[in-house]
C-alpha cells in the first residue's frame, strides 16, 4: 500500500467516523426508542435500494450502525460477538428481522421460499462482510429432485442489487448457479437434509409453490414431493 493511498484511506475512514459520531449525537436515549430508529432505518434503506439512491443507502446504514454503536456502549467492539446473543448488534438485528416466511426488506435478516423453474429452495438472508454486502444461504427443499448443489446447500455472497428486491436478487443468484444438467443430492446429503426439521412456516407454504415435472437420474419423467 502506497503512502498516498494509505493517507486517502485514513482520511476517508476519519470522515466516516465523524459522520457516524454526528449521527449518534442525534439519537434518542432510551433502548426502545433506539430500536425503533433502527427499524425505521431499514424502511429507508429498502426504499433507497429500490430507487437506486446510493446516498440514501449510505445514510440509512449510518443510522443503523449508530444505533448499534450507542447500544453497545459507544463502540463496535464485540457488538456481534458470535458467543454472545445479547450483544447489541444481535439485539438490533433480531428486533429488525423479518417474520420467518415473509420476504425481508433490504437490511433485514430473514428466510423465505423461492421457486425457480420448478426448483424450490429455502433462502436465508444473513449479514455479509461490510455495508451493502449480504449473504444468501440456499437450502434444498425437495431432496430427491435436482438442486444447485449435490450437498443440498449453497452459500453466496453478493452486493445489494439496486432496483431489485431481496427475493428478486435471490432468484437471480439461484438461476445463475443452475446447471444445464440435473444435479442430484448425494445419498448422504439426502439423509442429512431429510433429518433436519421443517420450519412451520415452510410446511404451510410448500403447497403454494408447485414443483414442475423433471427427469430423474434415469431419464424418467416424474414429480417430486
User: Looking at residue 195, what is its pLDDT?
Assistant: 96
Instruction: Tell me the β-bridge partners of 127.
Output: 134
Express each pLDDT in 75-104 by its tens digit.
Answer: 999 999 999 999 999 999 999 999 999 999
**Residues 112 and 103: beta-carbon distance below 8 Å:** yes
* pLDDT at 222 exceeding the cut of 70: no
The residue ranges of every structural domain in the chain are 3-96, 110-209
The C-alpha cell at 127 is 449479514
pLDDT of residue 130: 66
Grid cell listed for 175: 438461476
Confidence of residue 211 (pLDDT cuts 50, 70, 90): low
Regarding pTM above 0.85, the answer is yes
Residue 123 has pLDDT above 80, yes or no: yes
pLDDT band at 208 (very low <50, low <70, confident <90, very high): confident
First to last CA, the chain: 55
Q: Please spell the DSSP secondary structure of 19-60, one letter per residue.
A: HHHHHHHTS-SSHHHHHHHHHHHHHHHHHHHHHT-HHHHHHH
Amino acid at each position: 500500500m502506497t503512502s498516498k493511498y494509505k493517507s486517502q484511506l485514513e482520511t476517508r475512514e476519519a470522515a466516516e467516523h465523524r459522520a457516524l459520531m454526528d449521527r449518534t449525537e442525534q439519537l434518542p436515549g432510551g433502548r426502545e426508542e433506539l430500536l425503533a430508529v433502527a427499524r425505521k432505518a431499514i424502511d429507508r434503506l429498502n426504499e433507497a435500494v429500490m430507487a437506486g439512491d446510493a446516498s440514501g443507502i449510505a445514510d440509512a446504514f449510518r443510522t443503523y450502525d449508530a444505533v448499534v454503536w450507542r447500544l453497545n456502549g459507544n463502540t463496535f467492539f464485540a457488538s456481534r460477538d458470535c458467543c454472545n446473543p445479547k450483544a447489541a448488534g444481535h439485539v438490533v438485528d433480531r428486533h429488525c428481522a423479518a417474520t420467518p416466511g415473509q420476504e425481508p426488506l433490504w437490511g433485514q435478516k430473514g428466510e423465505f421460499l423461492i421457486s425457480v423453474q420448478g426448483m424450490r429452495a429455502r433462502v436465508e438472508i444473513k449479514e455479509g462482510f461490510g455495508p451493502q454486502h449480504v449473504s444468501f444461504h440456499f437450502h434444498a427443499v425437495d431432496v430427491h429432485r435436482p438442486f444447485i448443489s449435490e450437498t443440498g446447500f449453497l452459500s453466496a455472497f453478493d452486493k445489494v442489487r439496486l432496483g431489485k428486491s431481496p427475493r428478486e436478487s435471490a432468484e437471480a443468484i439461484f438461476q445463475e448457479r443452475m446447471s444445464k444438467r440435473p444435479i442430484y443430492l448425494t445419498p448422504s446429503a439426502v439423509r442429512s437434509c431429510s433429518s433436519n426439521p421443517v420450519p412451520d412456516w415452510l410446511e404451510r407454504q410448500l403447497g403454494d409453490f408447485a414443483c414442475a415435472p423433471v427427469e430423474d437420474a434415469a431419464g424418467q419423467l416424474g414429480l417430486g414431493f
